């Protein structure tokens, strides 16, 4: 089975969990016998290509006079949309970006250039990058031999659609998150439309959880029989727990993730304030970066808990493991979490976990405490329980690792291979 796969990130150059998931899945798919051409906007040259053949769209030139290229642009005019395609920016930053874009050349002029330097990120040129990426996908599909197209998350859906239109091969779109997860009720209509078109064009939609599957069906109007759930896995890794010496006498409660609306960091701060009113032998650590950082710093100051609250900024993998080794409780109070890999990492490091019920990972974990993200009293009580009752913690540690070990990428890859085989079989009949 040969797969033409489109992704926006690939380790070590990642912004969030998308790249990590693509890495784990592709390695296990290779073990299952899949041959994968993995296309990213920008290849840096230091990626692990032991399981994939990595292609960088930045390295591919375009002939703007070619009739097929001109015809392609006519087919993707729906990408001529508003410029608000940038996740996780503040209104102030967005206004600045729009002003800058008004002074730049049009999207069509950028996309049709012979050479285009992709950033591979989510910046001000994201619209042009998504369009150019789709154009390159159309060209690649004419030249490569493959059985299935697999597109990860919305920036790659237009590329998947273009490749399927040219090749006639079945298309699978993989939903790692939706606009409702990123933006709540204040969704970006342009991003939503791209997501919906990708899902409608796909032969099959893979959702990372039943939580996400329900969103795809209910919010995007996709037929239930077309949407399958394949839970994420977690790669095998060295257990660093106990390798870091503790220098604090207090208990340590940790939040790790992007400081954005989706992750619910403000609820973590409120719960910390409640808990510290009757237990001052605790320190709270918030690890990560994001547009909500200034607001959260002000919130901590307003509540008067600054001496017990620490912001670390973004942490690398080794620093994360060191933090877990020092932590007594990990908390993920996400407002909307399609899956959530960090709780699995915490459990693997022997850290008991509190997660929101509004997360996909809550479907597959039993030995954790689950609360509604908005219920800060319940969140504070759950943290207090794990800090106070050793028997509960020991029970969670004993059985939690077994649950996590069953959530591996090999199992996920076998399920994805079944999806590949199904869509190929159907396409051969039509």
Check: CB of residue 39 under 8 Å from CB of residue 6. Answer: yes
Residue 239 resides in a domain: no
Where does the pLDDT of residue 58 fall: very low under 50, low under 70, confident under 90, or very high at 90 and above? confident
The HSE-up count of residue 365 (CA atoms within 13 Å, CB side) is: 32
pLDDT mean over 257-261: 90
**282 three-state secondary structure:** strand
141/174 same-domain check:
yes
How does pLDDT run across 11-22, given as a tens digit for each residue?
Answer: 877 766 788 889
% of the chain residues with pLDDT over 70: 81
69/137 same-domain check:
yes
State how far the Cα of 181 lies from the Cα of 201, in Å rounded to an integer. 22
266/342 same-domain check:
yes
The predicted structure's pLDDT at residue 191: 86
Beta-ladder partners of 356 = 371
191/281 same-domain check:
no
179/296 same-domain check:
no
Answer yes or no: is pLDDT of 92 > 70: no
Question: What is the CA angle 286-288-293, rounded to 5?
Answer: 80
Where does the pLDDT of residue 81 fall: very low under 50, low under 70, confident under 90, or very high at 90 and above? very low
Q: Which helix (H) or strand (E) holds 24?
A: helix 17-31
Check: CB of residue 127 under 8 Å from CB of residue 107. Answer: yes
84/215 same-domain check:
yes
The predicted structure's pLDDT at residue 189: 85
User: Residue 321: exposed, middle, or buried by beta-carbon count in 10 A (0-12, 13-18, 19+)?
Assistant: buried
33/178 same-domain check:
yes
% of the chain residues with pLDDT over 90: 55
Check: CB of residue 120 under 8 Å from CB of residue 106. Answer: no
Total domain count, the chain: 2
226/272 same-domain check:
no
Residue 297 resides in a domain: yes
Check: CB of residue 330 under 8 Å from CB of residue 396. Answer: no
Give the pTM.
0.83
The predicted structure's pLDDT at residue 82: 35
For the record, the structure tokens of 128 come out as 């042009």
Distances 182 to 62, 135, 159, 186, 357 between C-alpha atoms, Å: 33, 26, 21, 9, 17
Residue 243 resides in a domain: no
pLDDT mean over 73-77: 52
Where does the pLDDT of residue 80 fall: very low under 50, low under 70, confident under 90, or very high at 90 and above? very low
Domain boundaries, position 310: 251-406
Residue 242 resides in a domain: no
The predicted structure's pLDDT at residue 91: 46
65/137 same-domain check:
yes
How does pLDDT run across 332-387, given as a tens digit for each residue?
Answer: 999 999 999 899 999 999 999 999 999 999 999 999 999 999 999 999 999 999 99
Residue 47 resides in a domain: yes
State how far the Cα of 205 lies from the Cα of 426, in Å rounded to an integer. 15
Token pair 């710093």 is found at: 297
Work out the end-to-end distance of the chain between its first and last CA atoms, rounded to an integer number of angstroms.
19
165/280 same-domain check:
no
CATH number of the domain encompassing residue 271: 3.40.50.2000
Distances 80 to 20, 75, 108, 192 between C-alpha atoms, Å: 31, 11, 8, 14
How does pLDDT run across 147-168, given as a tens digit for each residue?
Answer: 999 999 998 999 999 999 989 9
Residue 246 resides in a domain: no
128/276 same-domain check:
no
Residue 245 resides in a domain: no
State how far the Cα of 137 lies from the Cα of 155, in Å rounded to an integer. 12
State how far the Cα of 321 lies from the Cα of 238, in Å rounded to an integer. 10
69/197 same-domain check:
yes
DSSP letter (8 states) at residue 183: H
Residue 336 resides in a domain: yes
State how far the Cα of 3 lies from the Cα of 244, in Å rounded to an integer. 42
Instruction: Give the torsion sign (CA, 298, 303, 306, 311).
Output: negative
């Amino acid at each position: 089975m040969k797969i033409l796969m489109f992704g926006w990130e690939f380790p070590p150059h990642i912004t969030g969990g998308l790249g990590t998931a693509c890495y784990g899945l592709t390695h296990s798919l290779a073990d299952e016998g899949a041959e994968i051409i993995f296309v990213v906007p920008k290849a840096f040259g230091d990626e692990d290509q032991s399981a994939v053949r990595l292609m960088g769209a930045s390295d591919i030139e375009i002939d703007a006079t070619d009739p097929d290229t001109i015809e392609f642009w006519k087919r993707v005019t729906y990408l001529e949309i508003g410029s608000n395609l940038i996740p996780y920016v503040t209104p102030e930053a967005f206004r600045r970006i729009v002003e800058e874009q008004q002074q730049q050349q049009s999207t069509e002029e950028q996309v049709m250039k012979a050479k285009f330097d992709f950033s591979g990120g989510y910046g001000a040129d994201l619209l042009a990058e998504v369009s150019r990426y789709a154009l390159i996908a159309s060209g690649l599909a004419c030249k490569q031999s493959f059985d299935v197209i697999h597109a990860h998350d919305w920036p790659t859906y237009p590329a998947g659609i273009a490749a399927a239109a040219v090749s006639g091969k079945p298309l699978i779109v993989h939903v790692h998150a939706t606009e409702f997860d990123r933006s709540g009720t204040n969704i970006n209509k342009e991003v939503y439309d791209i997501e919906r078109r990708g899902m409608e064009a796909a032969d099959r939609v893979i959702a990372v959880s039943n939580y996400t599957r329900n969103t795809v069906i209910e919010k995007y109007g996709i037929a239930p029989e077309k949407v399958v759930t394949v839970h994420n896995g977690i790669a095998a890794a060295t257990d660093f727990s106990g390798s870091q010496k503790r220098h604090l006498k207090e208990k340590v409660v940790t939040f790790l993730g992007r400081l954005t609306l989706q992750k619910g960091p403000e609820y973590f701060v409120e719960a910390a304030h409640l808990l510290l009113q009757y237990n001052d032998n605790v320190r709270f650590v918030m690890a990560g970066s994001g547009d909500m950082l200034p607001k959260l710093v002000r919130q901590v100051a307003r509540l008067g808990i600054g001496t017990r609250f620490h912001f670390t900024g973004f942490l690398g993998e080794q620093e994360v493991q060191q933090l877990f080794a020092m932590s007594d409780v990990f908390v993920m109070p996400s407002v909307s979490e399609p899956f959530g890999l960090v709780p699995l990492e915490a459990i693997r490091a022997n850290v008991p976990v509190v997660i929101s019920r509004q997360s996909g990972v809550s479907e597959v974990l039993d030995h954790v405490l689950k609360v509604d993200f908005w219920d800060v009293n319940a969140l504070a009580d759950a943290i207090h329980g794990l800090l106070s009752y050793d028997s509960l913690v020991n029970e969670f540690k004993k059985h939690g690792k077994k649950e996590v070990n069953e959530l591996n990428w090999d199992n996920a890859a076998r399920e994805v291979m079944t999806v590949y085989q199904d869509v190929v079989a159907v396409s051969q009949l039509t």
